[in-house]
Structure 1
Amino acid sequence: MKKKKFKEFNISKFFKKAVAVTMACTFVLTGIPGDGFLATHIRDGVKANLGVDLGATEVKANNLRHVSVHDPSVVDGQNGYYYMFGSHRAFARSKDMCNWQTITNNINTDYNRLFKVGADWSRLGNPNYDLAGNTWAPDIIYNKKMKKWCMYMSINGQDFNSSIALLTADSIDGPYSYKGTVVYSGFDKGAHPVSKTDYYKVCGKNASIDRYLAGNRWNLNYGTNAIDPSVFYDQNGGLWMSYGSWFGGIFILKLDDNTGLRDYNTKYPLDTNASDGKASDPYMGNRIAGGLGSSGEASYVRHIGNYYYLFVTYGGFVSNGGYNTRMFRSKHLNGPYVDAAGNYATYTKGVGINNTWGTTGIRLHSYYKMASMDRAEIAGGHNCVFVDREGKMYDIYHTRFDDGEEFHEVRVHQMVMNQDGWPCEAPFEYKGETLSKNGYSLNECAGTYEFVKHDQQQKVDDKTKGAYNVTKSSTITLHSNGKITGAIDGSWTYQANTPYIKLYSEGVSYKGVFLRQQDEKNVTKMTFSAVGSDNTCIWGAKGQGILNYSKASVPEGKYHIKNAGSNLYLDVDGNKPDNNTNVQQFAFNGCSAQTFYIKPVGNYVAILTGSSDFKCSLDVTDGFTKGTNISQWKYFGGDMQLFKLVQNPDGTYSFLSKVSSETNAMEIFENKTTNGANVDQWEFWGGNSQKWYLEPAR
């Protein structure tokens, strides 16, 4: 039996109605885009006029079962399932946060009765109003005092006359019943009389509504649209709801724990200053983001650790609308909420739609494509952030693709806190990975990475359908000496026995985490994700997905094999002929220990050793996993003795072991450049330690 040699390791909605009516046929089957209004106030878009229940659609891809649910919100059903609720009564559930199955409940068939109050309000002034396309972006929570599941549903109106309805149920699967309406918007002195709302109950029967009006219409520079609820408990157990959409801002209201409806005992002053990052309105509540004609939508608030985190999506939800989610935080429920650069989430002056491609807020991701993805992800947004039973945190959002269509699917990415308490989104979809609390070795972290720098100010082509400005990956190398070269130059450090990484480049400090993941092709890779001091997020993925190599062939014969990273030569220790003799690198001396015979074997090659008079070959010692040692063993042609020879763009060669299914390559352990450094196999990531020059030998 071969002796093992072990190696030691070091420890939605702003643009949402700008969808051409000609797209309706496609959307009937696949689900259609979400909610909202154009800056030019285009109304009566496709979604509001289909008059059908679109539901959720299942799609199998990336070895996962995805669903097409717009504006997803996820909750633990406390019955072994996680539940997802979205616009147009599209619902799903999962046991593992990876594979989702569509479901229905009584809301799908009984929505006209359940939401009659809200529909009657939204129908005012629009006799053709159809509720079917206007049930948007629900959120659900288990109310501890009521001992009920409480679902908060947006009932959208075509002239901002919207409302948020509360349904309750004993079981998360239903049946649900109508409890009441939490808040209204769009009231005026014409078609939408304020007397049909609870405004006077909140503000007093003689309270003026003039500040909400521009002429006789809803004032878009001041009033919000009462949609997109996010319901959460504060650190003291109080129940709150954030809500709102273009243009008046994002607001929060205190809810009554006993009813789930508005807490009429909580009062809010009239304060429109916002110079300190906060503002308030007696009816709408505390303004925590946007305002003055500029806003965003799809707010999501959660108290995690020491902070309240606020997520807001900006732009238009369609493919060329620039949709993107940004992150803020505050130590106080009512704000101010700030980003990593210290910018307030609230506005003191109108900025139009510019924050769609602005610098305020930490942009979680741009339109982007990584090498293992078949399609670019674009217009990803309207997220929720969820913490599961094990304490793992996730960013869950819908995304479109650069295929010229408006079809969307949900994506789930794990998020991990960095050293400064900012959640960092992992580059690849969640597939059950767990963060290493003990960190990783330098050899695992150093190397060449596929690199994505998410563009804060990314603009997209809004003229040509299917032509999008997509951030494509580049390449950087994290050198073991702490330097960064490639697409960015700088330095990096990692904290031993932790997963943390710090990077410095062009005056920006990035802090994040290493996390081992599987990419979309199910190749396991080391990744990193970090948040920059300038609100920019960066991702890295180490491994063969980024490599551009081709199968190579060289003349059969004798070679000296020189490592590209160290300029030292492959060498059989002590020039011994014995089985299990270790293989290392050493300065060139031209002896038989450094002479190898490359022998073609089908699509592979064997590397026979001169030290054994070519009777032994290089052999992956008793294993196929990365980190397995390479030694010399009597040649018999097994998979552990065969390598795929590939040529890299720079003219060097790499040897991919057959026993690892060509995922691992022969390399110098820990990128060392000293005599005697060991040779093993490791995940093929394309660094110089895995590249070799072949020099013909006599």
Structure 2
Amino acid sequence: MKKVGALLLLSSALLSACSFENSNVKTVKQVLEKPQFENTSVHDPSVWLDGNEKYIIGSHLQFAKSKDLMKWETLSESVASSQLFEDVFKEFEEEFSYAQTTTFWASDIIQLEDGRYYLYYCLCEGSSPLSVLGLAVSDDIEGPYEKVESFLTSGRGRSPDGQPYNATIHPNAIDPHVFYDEAGELWMVYGSYSGGIFILPLDKTTGLPTEETYGTKLLGGNHARIEAPYILYNQETMFYYLFTSFGGLDADGSYNIRVARSKNPDGPYEDMNNQDMIDAKGEDGTIFDDISIAPYGTKVLGNYLWQYSENEEYGYVSPGHNSAYYDEELNQYFILFHTRFPESGEMHEVRVHALLFNADGWPVIAPRRYAGEKIETVSYGDVQGDYLIIEDQNTIVPDTIVSQGITITNKKISGDYSGKVELGEQGLATVQLNGETVNGHFLPQWDEYTEKQTMTFTGLTPEGKAFMMVRK
């Protein structure tokens, strides 16, 4: 992974020093053509790059690939249709019996130093933490894979520490993400609800745990609705970013993506308010205690609705279970997640958005799905116009945030918010909104709803409140 340099991170002081007037700076003018999207419905998408192809694997052995992150070819829609295993029901008969299920949940693929592909699978019925997590290997990313070992279970008997399994403190062994740290060591972060999110060291040669343990706890407990951990390292900021999803995954479950960061892969992780995420858990004796966990983690994406007019409303419902990666060829970060949509029930699809890092070194998500745009310097003339604006809150509620309206004229903001704009290089910006400082990025993007190129902004206040803007 090569360094991103000033493209992705500037200190606040440098951002101020780089502020400029439109007349003094020559800006890059990219022209975005109408993209061709081919959608896929992989739930819980975990990404892996293999040559020019980007692969995503999710729950139910759903599997898809793409060359451009816009047009996806669905390779498998279910366990029954999957070609990842030659005879999945026979090979995993014992695991299906233990987990009391006939399906797989969120999976992950990584290529280890021997060149082979290591698929980390999990099985779980869903209403209990009876789960199995294990490893299968193939010489081809598209399979077939051969089971190596189911190495971690939860839900009954004794835990690896010798104590009786306790779902309030021990993990539900699902949702694995396997990654290398900067020292070349291999880790697996995993967990959902129950006792929380854990991280476990793995052997770099075998891909299996180095010892019999659940590993180190990072956050969660007492059945708090926290799951889908994914860890991304940024060489420029030198932080590990832990993404998790809070809330329930269904359309009225208020799923949302949150992030915390650490200098070490195994933590401790803190959010923008310097809160240790180990304290993010439900109160003793509770189940799904959203009130206790809502203040923790920096929320970067939740339910929202862009209201262009009374009859034109677009947005996301319960977006979550993301993966993320740095694309060396494009020199950009991306985040991939599944989402549901307003008035569409439980129908879901994968969305890919540019992932940017603001002047404080925190990730923010571009408001529109990726359509080939590149990060570039913008001028005050570029960002003028009428915008829709979303102000998010660290809540876990099914309510959908509806956009309001503002206008940017020169440096001034008017409308439902008042304030000003200060621009820096490569789209970095500081925006004042009703007295709050928002550090983020302006980014030219394609708006698939209005079918035209537009300007967007995404950012966070120092306290971790997220704002998004889209020019109408």
Q: Could you say what secondary structure the match of 1:98 adopts?
A: coil
Alignment partner for residue 177 of structure 2, among 224, 230, 246?
Answer: 230
Determine which of 382, 385, 389 is the counterpart of 1:447. 385
Match of 1:121 in 2: 98
TM-score scaled by length of structure 2: 0.85
Q: Partner amino acid for 1:366? A: G
Amino acid at match of 1:161: L
**Structure 1 pair 286–478 and aligned structure 2 pair: CA distance change class (3 A):** same
1:165 maps onto 2:134 in alignment: yes
1:92-103 matches, within 5 Å, as: 92-103=64-75
What's the secondary structure of 2:249's corresponding residue? coil
From 359, 364, 373, give the equivalent of 2:300. 364
Residue deviations 1:540-579, cap 9 Å, x none? 122xx3xxxxxxxxxxxxxxxxxxxxxxxxxxxxxxxxxx
How far does residue 342 in structure 1 lie from its aligned partner after superposition? 1.4
Q: Matched residue of 1:444: which SS?
A: helix
Contact 1:246/1:293 (CA < 8 Å) preserved in 2?
Answer: yes
- Alignment match, 1:137: 106
Aligned residue type for 1:112: F
- Specify the alignment match of 1:523 in structure 2: 452
C-alpha distance 147-447 of structure 1, shift in aligned 2 (>3 A): same
- 1:512 corresponds, among 437, 440, 456, to 440
Q: 2:29 aligned with 1:88, yes or no? A: no
Q: 1:92-145: CA deviations, max 9, x gaps?
A: 1101011101114533662213333422432xxxxxx342xx30100111011x
Structure of higher RCO (CA pairs closer than 8 Å, 6+ residues apart): 2
CA distance in 2 between counterparts of 1:487 and 1:396 reads 31
Letter in 1 for 2:373: E
Secondary structure of the corresponding residue to residue 67 of structure 1: coil
- Tell me the distance in 2 between the aligned counterparts of 1:514 and 1:398: 24
Shift of the alpha carbon at 1:357?
A: 7.9
Q: Which residue number in structure 1 is paired with residue 362 of structure 2? A: 422
Among residues 360, 368, 371, which one is paired with 1:431 in the alignment?
371
> What is the RMSD of the two structures over their aligned residues, measured on CA atoms?
2.3
Moved over 6 A (4+): none
| Aligned partner of 1:73 among 21, 46, 56 | 46
Give the letter for the 1:485 counterpart.
Answer: S
Amino acid at match of 2:299: R
1:322 touches 1:356 (CA, 8 Å); kept in 2?
A: no
Aligned to 1:10: 25
Q: Which amino acid aligns with 1:68?
A: S
2-structure distance, mates of 1:320, 1:108: 34
- Residue number among 250, 260, 264 corresponding to 2:197 in the alignment: 250
3-state DSSP class of the match of 1:93?
strand
CA contact (8 A) 2:219 2:280 kept: no
Q: Which moved more, 1:253-262 or 1:108-117?
A: 108-117
Counterpart pick for 1:290 among 203, 217, 220: 220
What is aligned with 1:153? 121
- 2:14 counterpart residue number: none
Q: Is the 8 A contact 1:324 1:356 kept in 2?
A: no
Measure, in 2, the Cα distance between the counterparts of 1:367 and 1:349: 22
Does the 8 A contact of 1:440 with 1:498 survive in 2?
Answer: yes
SS at match of 1:118: helix
Residue matched to 2:428: 500
Selected match of 2:404 from 466, 471, 474: 474
In the superposition, relative to structure 1, how do residues 287 and 355 fare at CA in structure 2: closer, same or farther (>3 Å)?
farther
Asked if the contact 2:290–2:396 (Cα under 8 Å) also holds between the matched residues in 1, the reply is no
Aligned-partner SS, 1:135: coil
Q: State the secondary structure of the residue aligned to 1:426.
A: strand
Deviations 1:218-273 (A, max 9, x none): x2321110000011101101110000111211000000111111112xxxxxxxxx
SS in 2 for 1:248: coil
Cα gap change, 1:419 to 1:180, in 2 (>3 Å): same
Return the alpha-carbon distance in structure 1 between the equivalents of residues 356 and 305 of structure 2: 21
CA separation of 1:184 and 1:458: change in aligned 2, threshold 3 A: closer
Q: 1:295 to 1:338 in 2, by over 3 A?
A: farther
State whether residues 340 and 532 of structure 1, in contact with CA within 8 Å, keep that contact through their aligned partners in structure 2.
no
Matched positions, count = 427
Q: Is the 8 A contact 2:282 2:292 kept in 1?
A: no
Indicate the percent of aligned positions where both proteins have the same amino acid.
32
Match of 1:328 in 2: 260
* Inter-partner Cα distance in structure 1 for 2:328 and 2:391: 31
Helix, strand or coil at the partner of 2:121: strand
Partner residue, 1:412:
352
- Tell me the alpha carbon deviations over residues 46-89 of structure 1, each in whole angstroms, 9 at most, x when there is no partner: xxxxxxxxxxxxxxx984111111111111122x2111111111
Q: In structure 2, what is the Cα distance between the partners aligned to 1:106 and 1:456?
A: 41
Change (3 A) 1:119 1:471: same
TM-score, normalised with respect to structure 1: 0.58
The DSSP-based 3-state class of the residue aligned with 2:55 is strand
* Unmatched runs of 5 consecutive residues or more in structure 1: 1-6, 12-60, 123-128, 189-193, 213-218, 265-281, 461-468, 546-698
Residue of structure 2 equivalent to 1:394? 334
Distance 1:458 1:284, change over 3 A: closer
Q: Which residue of 2 aligns with 1:340?
A: 272
> After superposition, where does 1:25-36 map in structure 2 within 5 Å?
none
Q: What is the distance in 2 between the residues matched to 1:485 and 1:109?
A: 61
State the secondary structure of the residue aligned to 1:184: strand
CA contact (8 A) 1:455 1:471 kept: no
Counterpart mapping for 1:26-65 below 5 A: 63-65=36-38
Letter in 2 for 1:364: V
CA distance in 2, matches of 1:338, 1:479: 37
Distance (Å, rounded) in 2 between the aligned partners of 1:358 and 1:386: 26
Tell whether the 8 Å contact from 2:115 to 2:139 is kept in structure 1 after alignment.
yes
Listed as ranges, the matches of 1:262-277 within 5 Å are: 262-264=209-211
Q: Give, in angstroms, the shift of residue 498 of structure 1.
A: 3.3
Partner residue of 1:51?
none
1:478-513 deviation line (CA, Å, top 9, x unaligned)? 342x43322222333112x43111123355321111
Q: Tell me the distance in 2 between the aligned counterparts of 1:246 and 1:357.
A: 12
CA distance 1:293–1:458, shift in 2 (3 Å)? closer
**Aligned residue identity for 1:367:** N
Cα offset, 1:316, TM superposition: 1.0
CA distance in 2, matches of 1:392, 1:483: 30
Judged with a 3 Å threshold, the aligned counterparts in structure 2 of structure 1 residues 8 and 493 are, in CA distance, closer, same or farther, namely: closer
Distance 2:409 2:117 in 1: 52
- 2:289 is matched by which residue type in structure 1? I
- Match of 1:350, SS? coil
Is contact 2:220–2:281 with CA below 8 Å preserved after alignment?
no
In the alignment, is the contact (CA less than 8 A) between 1:447 and 1:479 conserved in 2?
A: yes
Whether the aligned pair in 1 keeps the contact of 2:101 and 2:124 (CA below 8 Å) is no
Q: CA deviation at 1:320?
A: 0.6
Q: Aligned partners of 1:170, 1:415: CA distance in 2, in Å?
A: 31
Q: Tell me the distance in 1 between the aligned counterparts of 2:434 and 2:463.
A: 11
Q: How far apart are residue 534 of structure 1 and its match?
A: 2.1
Report the counterpart of residue 88 of structure 2 in structure 1. 111
State how far apart, in whole Å, the 2-side matches of 1:430 and 1:295 are: 29
Distance in structure 1 (CA, Å) of the matches to 2:218 and 2:434: 32
Q: Assess if the C-alpha contact under 8 Å between 2:246 and 2:396 holds in 1.
A: no
